[in-house]
Amino acid sequence: MAGRLRAPTGRYGGKSAAQRQAERRRRFLDAALQLFGDSPGYRATTVAALSEAAGLSTRQFYEEFRTLEDVLAALHLQVNAWAEEAVRAAAEGARGLPLADRAAVIFRAYAANVTADPRRVRITFVEIVGVSARLEEQRLARRARWVDLICAEVRSAAVRGEAAARDHRLAATAFIGGVNGLLHDYSAGWVDATLDEVVDELVHQLLAVLRPPGPSPED
């Protein structure tokens, strides 16, 4: 197919064409969250099955997307956007707290948002992996965005003397990998711990990496 079909214009049922298009797109993404994030998964879902789950036609699908990969790409970005919104709200509310307390608030918000719906975990950590070079690039770019967020927090902490003044990008990248792996395993039931315990461990690891040189608090 050369491209998406052109969506109708004008008002219908009291809604503009743009409003109808946004509603159709939301319905497709809601259906994709269910089918990709639960059963049967992205690789076993067809356009027809997704359209049926959304209560829409395949023609309407091609008015919004070219392929199912486009849907997965949009859904992956949406799930990450939800998590980032929760993180930024938590960071704003934790303004002025010491680094240890602030990190705990921020990562608790992230973990709670991602693990609140197991389908989000599967989209973020499972279904998106290895689909195509395009989606690998998107996945890594989105991870880099999280790394940037951590590094910005660390730079502010370094100014206050709460973190070592160095380039933390490599450490942040490694830390994000640990976050993803541990939260996936927790959501899958492979970790015998509460979510609070998981977050506490992640924060402990992060602070150990960021601690400025000098005697430890226990010394």
Residue 219 has pLDDT above 50, yes or no: no
Q: Which of 75, 74, 80 is nearest to 114 (CA)?
A: 80
pLDDT value at 2 more than 50? no
pTM passes above 0.85 = no
Q: What is the pLDDT of residue 163?
A: 85
Query: How big is the chain by its Cα radius of gyration, in Å?
Result: 21
Q: 3-state SS of the chain?
A: CCCCCCCCCCCECCECHHHHHHHHHHHHHHHHHHHHHCCCCHHHCCHHHHHHHHCCCHHHHHHHCCCHHHHHHHHHHHHHHHHHHHHHHHHHHCCCCCHHHHHHHHHHHHHHHHHCCHHHHHHHHHHCCCCCHHHHHHHHHHHHHHHHHHHHHHHHHHHCCCCCCCCCHHHHHHHHHHHHHHHHHHHCCCCCCCHHHHHHHHHHHHHHHHCCCCCCCCC
Highest mean pLDDT among 130-144, 177-191, 200-214 belongs to 130-144
Query: Is 70 exceeded by the pLDDT of residue 9?
Result: no
Structure confidence at residue 3 as a pLDDT band (50, 70, 90): low
* Digit-coded pLDDT (tens) for 70-128: 999 999 999 999 999 999 999 999 988 988 899 999 999 999 999 889 999 999 989 99
Number of Cβ within a 10 Å radius of residue 160: 9
pLDDT of 162 over the 90 cut: no
